[in-house]
Structure 1
Amino acid sequence: MERPKSFSGIRHIALVVQKFEECEKFYTDILGMTILRRANNNLVYLTNGCDNLSLGRAAAQRICSPISVDHFGLIVDSKEQLHEWYEYMQFKGVTLLDAPHDHSDGARSFHCKDPEGHVIQPLYHPAISGQTIL
């Protein structure tokens, strides 16, 4: 059997959180995502137009991976845009773990935390930044 056509990327992440309302506010008010659908009082789907983030209230979830995620990245189109996000998050009081820094592959990023403590890496990467999503 041949492998099917490649995946189109990671477009959906589901987080289980105890600070449900705080996390929803962070992802909408700070990161600018919009509510795609509120399934119920314990589950909301957010989007930035091309991706889907599910926030589920911890006590309401039945399925949960026992493996921890180190961090997840949010792609920006340029190094300038990355710096703008850093300054904006600094202004909004987001917990920043480091300052924008260059990687050996030409990428540039920094790390921050959401209210639940998930580490997010805003990232410019020359191989994938600026791609048009069809």
Structure 2
Amino acid sequence: MQRPKAFNGLRHLALKVYQFEECLHFYHEIMGMEILRRANDNLVYLSCGNDNLSLSRAHHPQDSGQHNLDHFGFIVDSKQDLQNWYDFLQSQGVPLLDTPHDHSDGARSFHCTDPASNVVQPLYHPAVSGQKLQ
């Protein structure tokens, strides 16, 4: 199977943090990121305009610490591109953690793991997909 169209950048990062409110304050008030959406009391999405940072609350200090990375996402330009990547990764024997699914904000994604067990999220997101960085 042929590899699908190239990703449109790595512009999504998800951090799991025990100091949730402090990190939200830092990224929003100090770093100037816009709050895109508060999914719930434990999850908020922020942006500088062409990216997407997800902050989720770690409920125990040991769930945060030195390894705060929950997953990272590669942006695709369309939902069809996302499906093409799913089919391709499946054909390559990449470990898939779920199937493409819709999010309440219009995004669509799935998750897989790289050989080092990092979670990778191919992601269509209407706020950042289709934008080309110069």
Normalised TM-score (structure 1): 0.51
Q: Secondary structure at the match of 2:70?
A: coil
Q: How does 1:1-134 map to 2 (within 5 A)?
A: 66-134=66-134
Higher RCO (CA-CA < 8 Å; seq separation 6+): 2
TM superposition outliers: structure 1 runs of 4+ over 3 Å: none
Q: Give, in whole Å, the separation in 2 of the partners of 1:112 and 1:77.
A: 19
Q: Structure 1: 5+ residue runs without aligned partners?
A: 1-8, 14-64
Amino acid at match of 1:80: Q
Percent pairwise identity: 62
Aligned in 2, Cα 1:128/1:113: closer, same or farther, shift over 3 Å?
A: same
Deviations 1:19-51 (A, max 9, x none): xxxxxxxxxxxxxxxxxxxxxxxxxxxxxxxxx
Q: Secondary structure at the match of 1:120?
A: strand
Q: Structure 2: 5+ residue runs without aligned partners?
A: 1-8, 14-64
Q: Secondary structure at the match of 2:88?
A: helix
Question: What's the C-alpha RMSD, in Å, of the aligned pairs?
Answer: 2.1
Aligned in 2, Cα 1:10/1:90: closer, same or farther, shift over 3 Å?
A: closer
Q: How many residues align?
A: 74
Cα drift, residue 10 of structure 1: 6.8
Q: Give, in whole Å, the separation in 2 of the partners of 1:117 and 1:10.
A: 18
Amino acid at match of 1:89: L
Normalised TM-score (structure 2): 0.51
Amino acid at match of 1:99: T
